[in-house]
Structure 1
């Protein structure tokens, strides 16, 4: 229940702020031209780009799968449940953005990415140094607040996201060095490759659409597939490290 409260409080706070005029000057794309997948006019708005829309179900599936997995340690269970609930809420946000092309969902799509990446260092530190509620709150508050960079510069979000990804990878690598084995290393590599695919395929969406292979299942679609895999392999990596750390300390 505490994980639900944690995620929903942040979720509704961000929704409330995104629906004010605070972010009116943030650079977000609110046009189908931003995506390489062609709109299907015969379909309703929530399926206007069917592949880019339906792929968001993957976030919910991964989130529900990991939410139902049981962990004996209550701290690890809390960390896992928060991460799973983040995945479950993130899919509908992206789908709403595509269905409405409104500013608020577009802002939320960007904004929610940051605390999701920030949760990886929080979980990693819980594995390596033990749980600290103060550290978790500090990291998440700073992460949410970092979206203010989007107000200061048109590429502020990209700067914040790049910093979040870098910190997440570095903290995961440090946790791997301290507690990892060959299994966790494999998960780490898969998560890192999925993260690279998530970034690169999204950036190359229109360029890849020049090739027939990416004209229906576009770069943006495969970027989301990589993002979903990134979630899954991050869960695999972090839960496996948690089990190793628990065995060493018990």
Structure 2
């Protein structure tokens, strides 16, 4: 019998295939997106194979694969009936599968520097943040698959803002980040403890590091410390840590989910 996470991987891969088909149909061919080595502070090593032309920005994507596999194979003891366990495990496994998919997607963008790969790299970012919202909704209000499906569909559709304005993706990403942060803070304020406070604080610090270091990639390169291991590289370290602390925060609430629901009904 195949492990249950195979079903989760299949769901994530099917959604990714739909996105790939849409991108290669040419829908987003005319949007502006940064393509080319000049947009990165790391200097390409032309003697290396093209898939390692920017070695540090390329290899760091292995971190997403390691993180994804770690959480996909991690079986956290969840208190509750079989349905509670199945639902909580599914949410965790989808998030882990997203990390697994995101690493190679970013690597392909760094490697090929094509418009299509850059679009997919941007687009896949949005449902990852949206899944944090989905997970928080589950922890507060229980299993609502159609609501979760609608949240993810709206998240994917929001990338169409890029067709309306050259800053469309930035607006969509900012909204996703704010929605994820608000959902997590609301969950913590309602049912959190000192441990969840540590996890959410570290996740938020990692998120700020991810944004700040990526935006300051070229500016930071004036200092020796950021010449080889550039701001973009360190932003990916922060992104991986953001993923990890989000897992820790959300799985921290998975066990008492039924208790939370009971508390709300008192």
| Unmatched tracts of structure 1, length 5 or more | none
In the TM superposition, what is the alpha-carbon distance from 1:246 to its structure 2 partner? 4.0
Query: Among 180, 187, 201, which residue is 1:168 paired with?
Result: 180
Distance 1:175 1:248, change over 3 A: closer
Q: Residue 135 of structure 1 corresponds to which residue in structure 2?
A: 147
- Aligned pairs (5 A) from 1:85-96: 85-96=97-108
Query: Among 15, 23, 26, which residue is 2:20 paired with?
Result: 15
Residues 33-67 of structure 1 deviation map (CA, whole Å, 9 limit, x = unaligned): 00000000110111000000000000000000000
Q: Distance in 2 between matches of 1:220 and 1:143?
A: 25
Correspondence 1:149 to 2:154? no
CA RMSD of aligned residues (A): 1.1
Q: Residue 215 of structure 1 corresponds to which residue in structure 2?
A: 227
Q: Distance in 1 between matches of 2:261 and 2:125?
A: 33
Correspondence 1:236 to 2:248? yes
In the TM superposition, what is the alpha-carbon distance from 1:96 to its structure 2 partner? 0.2
TM-score, length of structure 2 as denominator length = 0.92
Q: Distance in 2 between matches of 1:78 and 1:144?
A: 20
Query: Among 108, 117, 120, which residue is 1:108 paired with?
Result: 120
Q: Residue 126 of structure 1 corresponds to which residue in structure 2?
A: 138
Contact 1:180 1:244 in 2 (8 A): no
Equivalent residues, number = 250
Rg: which structure is higher? 2
Q: Distance in 2 between matches of 1:102 and 1:190?
A: 34
In the TM superposition, what is the alpha-carbon distance from 1:244 to its structure 2 partner? 3.1
| Unmatched tracts of structure 2, length 5 or more | 1-5, 79-84
Contact 2:42 2:230 in 1 (8 A): yes
